[in-house]
Homo-oligomer: A and B are copies of this chain.
């Protein structure tokens, strides 16, 4: 359904008229940028009309009230739907990840953990071993020990992974090509005002939800936050269709999508405040304060919906919620900053490698076989992942285990200290006597460390950071225990308590790597704060996030999202970085020196045929209207699409319109002979208040105006005469040129 609207400053009567007669005016074509000023004016007109009517009747008053609260209702629905979907995805992914290893005899629908909970025969120490849970080898071959078992399980694991990945890629290719990738670069672009039809549609939602489960279960390396943001935005976009206020206004809809991104992060990390800040800091373009409050509401509703579904059975929102007990020491800031440096380096490296791979796939024949690519990658991942315990589990489980603080009864290998593992190692010397020996590393911990180091190679950013952090944390811990009598470690260790918390290092490492890749700062720290709940752990996280951002920025200014936006040539005007070059509007405007003159319309004196020829000869998306060619003083601006639709409409519906009919943009009709063909009056589609700058205006100010007001184009004037035009694309090309990049990489308007 095309949604109709009008250019600003038409009277309400005219608006209704236009609404009825010329559908399509005020709409946009696919892969084009919206005009924020026009959309906001449309919304204000609508609001004004409803307010005026509400004084006339009770029904209209009720409608006006329901209209005012529809935003809140929409937020509630988005929160409920996204929370429920996220819960479903978590449960399904958990079950299917376990399906790769075996099944539960009590019921196919139990995952490993639930299966053994239901069983009464397990002890607390061996929670994950129970007779009801059968690995595939036990079930098929009947053996319960020996190398055969291992080989069969290995084979089945790879088969399932392959099946899941194959299904996922086929589904995406067949039904919803937009469902691939993380989605955040595209959502950023959409929020900045770009139109990609179908990117947030119902097919994309269905396929993305299913493939997210499949991809996570197949063990492929991906973070969940990007897809969950995409899923939440799809929900929001679909729900917008039930509210006229949002369905028919691109700017209002983008406010809702901003809130939906907050919801996505809220359910991915269980951090509603962090989600809102993520939307504000990272994704959104236009974020008025009203949206802040509504986003927060939606993010909270989603978080509580997810909690009431309770996908992890611990009444926490995410698997990796933690509580630490040991305070950190000032000297530990050194390893935290080291983790920050590591995260920054890793982020810069990851972005380059990722972009290089995408470019390779785009430019070579590799891009023609996506199914094969996925199958090969999945097979390789599964083949390498199975032997190591830490890569076999899903990445959330891995992160959860890494963040965990070792309790007394913890059976994880990562807690394989001498006291826990029971095997008194040779190194238990005097330290054991004074109570510190309990934290000396045992053989289990060493095995875990080696496996983790191997696992570093193929997992998503957060897990890489968490592993690196945990490794460093354990090293620091052992160092502090073994040298606890040295001056620098004095006071760190006391009998019966931990010296340091390796789990905190894992969390700091995860934050550093995620920060290096995404360049998030405040939102990252707040997300991690919401995971731990302790204000005192903010300082390490902040030190690491800051270092990581500085290091990564020094190696390349772009985050992974911006790099992908640039790779795809989307017209995205980054709000964060300032334009610092000393060029003027005259250097950027078209026509350049030597080019043919600017194509303009005159407010009177042109015929239908002349205008149609101008439209056919050019590809510009709009034309300035001036008083006359000789005196190019600006009257207004008319959009190509509106002009085309109006002319077609006049040819079809207005009597007597021929090629020689004059076109009038003037307010009053000039005198005409009665025999002349009737004029086509187009003042109603004319934007009488186009934005203008002078030729001397510095580009830094022009860029600022475009960003802050969300313009599509701006006219350039000198001493009252129209000289040229600057579009968003011109600005992006100019910026690319000033940064020594290819200006032709900007593909869209």
| Chain A 693-731 residues near chain B, CB threshold 8 A | 693-694, 696-698, 700-701, 704-705, 708-709, 717, 719-722
- The yes or no answer to A749 lying at the interface (CB within 8 A) is no
Complex CA distance for A207 and B538, rounded to whole angstroms: 34
Majority-rule SS of A interface residues: helix
Given A538-B300, A542-B300, A693-B689: A273 and B698 interface contact (C-beta under 8 Å)? no
Complex CA distance for A220 and B48, rounded to whole angstroms: 46
- The yes or no answer to A9 lying at the interface (CB within 8 A) is yes
| Chain A 497-547 residues near chain B, CB threshold 8 A | 521-522, 525-526, 529-530, 533, 535, 538-539, 542, 546
| Chain A 320-336 residues near chain B, CB threshold 8 A | none
Which of B41, B51, B526 touches A701 (beta carbons < 8 Å)?
B41
When distances are taken between beta carbons in the complex, the residues of chain B under 8 Å from A521 are 292-293, 296
Task: Indicate if the CB atoms of A719 and B47 lie closer than 8 Å.
Answer: no
Which residue of B has the minimal Cβ distance to A44? B700
- The yes or no answer to A582 lying at the interface (CB within 8 A) is yes
| Chain A 279-329 residues near chain B, CB threshold 8 A | 280-281, 289-290, 292-293, 296-297, 300, 303-304
When distances are taken between beta carbons in the complex, the residues of chain B under 8 Å from A593 are none
| Chain A 469-522 residues near chain B, CB threshold 8 A | 521-522
A740 to chain B, nearest CB (A): 16
- The yes or no answer to A578 lying at the interface (CB within 8 A) is yes
Segment from A420-428, A432-440, A627-635 that makes contact with B: A627-635
Task: Indicate if the CB atoms of A526 and B720 lie closer than 8 Å.
Answer: no
- The yes or no answer to A393 lying at the interface (CB within 8 A) is no
When distances are taken between beta carbons in the complex, the residues of chain B under 8 Å from A290 are 576
Task: Indicate if the CB atoms of A289 and B281 lie closer than 8 Å.
Answer: yes
- The yes or no answer to A580 lying at the interface (CB within 8 A) is yes
Complex CA distance for A694 and B688, rounded to whole angstroms: 7
Which residue of B has the minimal Cβ distance to A585? B689
Contact with B along A22-43 (1 / 0, CB 8 A): 0000000000000001001100
Task: Indicate if the CB atoms of B281 and A578 lie closer than 8 Å.
Answer: no
Complex CA distance for A539 and B708, rounded to whole angstroms: 34
Complex CA distance for A51 and B633, rounded to whole angstroms: 40
Task: Indicate if the CB atoms of A9 and B696 lie closer than 8 Å.
Answer: yes
A361 to chain B, nearest CB (A): 32
Complex CA distance for A746 and B94, rounded to whole angstroms: 63
- The yes or no answer to A8 lying at the interface (CB within 8 A) is yes
Given A44-B580, A719-B627: A8 and B701 interface contact (C-beta under 8 Å)? yes
Complex CA distance for A709 and B703, rounded to whole angstroms: 12
- The yes or no answer to A692 lying at the interface (CB within 8 A) is yes
| Chain A 332-378 residues near chain B, CB threshold 8 A | none
When distances are taken between beta carbons in the complex, the residues of chain B under 8 Å from A292 are 280-281, 521-522
When distances are taken between beta carbons in the complex, the residues of chain B under 8 Å from A195 are none
- The yes or no answer to A99 lying at the interface (CB within 8 A) is no
Complex CA distance for A8 and B720, rounded to whole angstroms: 20
Which of B575, B584, B688, B717 touches A720 (beta carbons < 8 Å)?
B717
When distances are taken between beta carbons in the complex, the residues of chain B under 8 Å from A272 are 535, 538
A608 to chain B, nearest CB (A): 24
Task: Indicate if the CB atoms of A273 and B529 lie closer than 8 Å.
Answer: yes
Which residue of B has the minimal Cβ distance to A692? B692
Given A9-B698, A526-B273, A719-B633: A704 and B693 interface contact (C-beta under 8 Å)? no
Task: Indicate if the CB atoms of B525 and A530 lie closer than 8 Å.
Answer: no
Which residue of B has the minimal Cβ distance to A578? B44
- The yes or no answer to A685 lying at the interface (CB within 8 A) is no
- The yes or no answer to A276 lying at the interface (CB within 8 A) is yes
Task: Indicate if the CB atoms of A698 and B41 lie closer than 8 Å.
Answer: yes
Contact with B along A161-188 (1 / 0, CB 8 A): 0000000000000000000000000000
Task: Indicate if the CB atoms of A689 and B701 lie closer than 8 Å.
Answer: yes
A719 to chain B, nearest CB (A): 5
When distances are taken between beta carbons in the complex, the residues of chain B under 8 Å from A690 are 694
Complex CA distance for A525 and B295, rounded to whole angstroms: 13
Point out residues on A near B: beta carbons under 8 Å. Answer: 8-9, 37, 40-41, 44, 47-48, 51, 272-273, 276, 280-281, 289-290, 292-293, 296-297, 300, 303-304, 521-522, 525-526, 529-530, 533, 535, 538-539, 542, 546, 575-576, 578, 580, 582, 584-585, 627, 633-635, 688-690, 692-694, 696-698, 700-701, 704-705, 708-709, 717, 719-722
Q: Enumerate the 4 nearest inter-chain pairs by beta-carbon distance, A residue then B residue, closest first.
A: A720-B720, A633-B720, A689-B697, A688-B696
12 CB-based A-B contacts, threshold 8 Å: A9-B584, A37-B701, A41-B698, A41-B701, A44-B700, A292-B521, A296-B521, A297-B542, A300-B538, A627-B720, A689-B694, A690-B694
Q: In the complex, given contacts A9-B584, A44-B700, what are 4 additional A-B residue pairs having Cβ atoms less than 8 angstroms apart?
A: A37-B704, A633-B720, A690-B694, A708-B708
